[in-house]
Amino acid sequence: MNHDRYDDTYIRAILSEVRTIAIVGASANAARPSYFVMKYLSERGYRVFPVNPGQAGKTVAGLTFVATLADVPEPIDMVDVFRAPEHVPAVVDEVLKLDPLPKVLWTQLGVRNDEAAAKAEAAGLKVVMNRCPKIEYGRLSGEIGWTGVNSRTISSRKPLRLGEGVQRLSIAPRGPKSS
């Protein structure tokens, strides 16, 4: 598929369907995007497993690092990759050895490797590249508008609050529930 742009429906379906996310290249450093993306996704209700051999066994923000994807203790729905483009093929090889196979391969802002993506797609995975799931979640829920970012969505329906706090919104379908 074309990876230059993605329809909102494609991104929204992925972020609505996946529940378990493994983050390859996650950091324990709070100033790194790979740290706060995992924390943000965890706070939005996803089960998040940070993967980084240098941090294995360490628990940060309530999340325990594992060394490799194979060490994640439950089936993974989505693998989010914080590694430079040249390292993506090796990650894909690891992903394709998992049983059951994950449904989605996602690579972060600035990370794109079309060859590795094609290999994952051939195995039946959906692929998103050069995007951040935190930014996409915030864009589709409406949260990102609080920061003046163009969400490229318009809606006459009320955004949905998520959880008990006042400053969290959900990407769940809005408006009256269909019967």
Partner 1 sequence: MTDETSAPPREPGFSTLAIHAGAQPDPTTGARATPIYQTTSFVFDDVDHAAALFGLQTFGNIYSRITNPTNAVLEERVAALEGGTAALAVASGHAAQHLVFHTLLTPGDEFIASRKLYGGSINQFNHAFKSFGWNVVWADPDDISSFEKAVTPKTKAIFTESIANPGGVVTDIAAISAVAKKAGVPLIVDNTLATPYLWQPIRHGADIVVHSATKFLGGHGNSIGGVIVDAGTFDWSATDRYPFLSKPRPEYSGMVLHETFGNFAFAIAARVLGLRDLGPALSPFNAFLILTGIETLGLRMQRHSENALKVAEYLAAHPKVEWVSYPGLASDRYHALAQQYLPKGAGAVFTFGLKGGYEAGVKLVSNVELFSHLANIGDTRSLIIHPASTTHRQLTDEAKVVAGAGPEVVRLSVGIEDVADIIGDLDQALAKV
**Contact pick of 7, 54, 99, 100 for partner 1 (by CB under 8 A):** 7
* Residues within window 62-91 making contact with partner 1, judged by CB under 8 A: none
2 is a contact residue toward partner 1 (CB under 8 A) = no
Letter string b/e over residues 98-133, b meaning 16 or more CB atoms within 10 A of that residue's CB: eeeebbbbbbbeebbbeebbebbeeeebbbbbebbb
**Contact pick of 57, 100, 122, 166 for partner 1 (by CB under 8 A):** 166
Q: What is the DSSP string of 24-88?
A: ET--S-TTSHHHHHHHHHHHTT-EEEEE-GGGTT-EETTEE-BSSGGG-SS--SEEEE-S-GGGH
Question: For the window 109-138, what string marks contact with partner 1 as x by the rule CB under 8 A?
Answer: xx---------------------x--x--x
- Residue 62 near residue 70 (C-beta atoms within 8 A): no
Stretch in the footprint of partner 1 (CB under 8 A) among 36-44, 72-80, 90-98, 113-121:
36-44
Contacting residues toward partner 1, per CB under 8 A: 7-9, 12-13, 29-33, 35-36, 39-40, 43, 109-110, 132, 135, 138, 142-161, 164-169, 173-175, 178
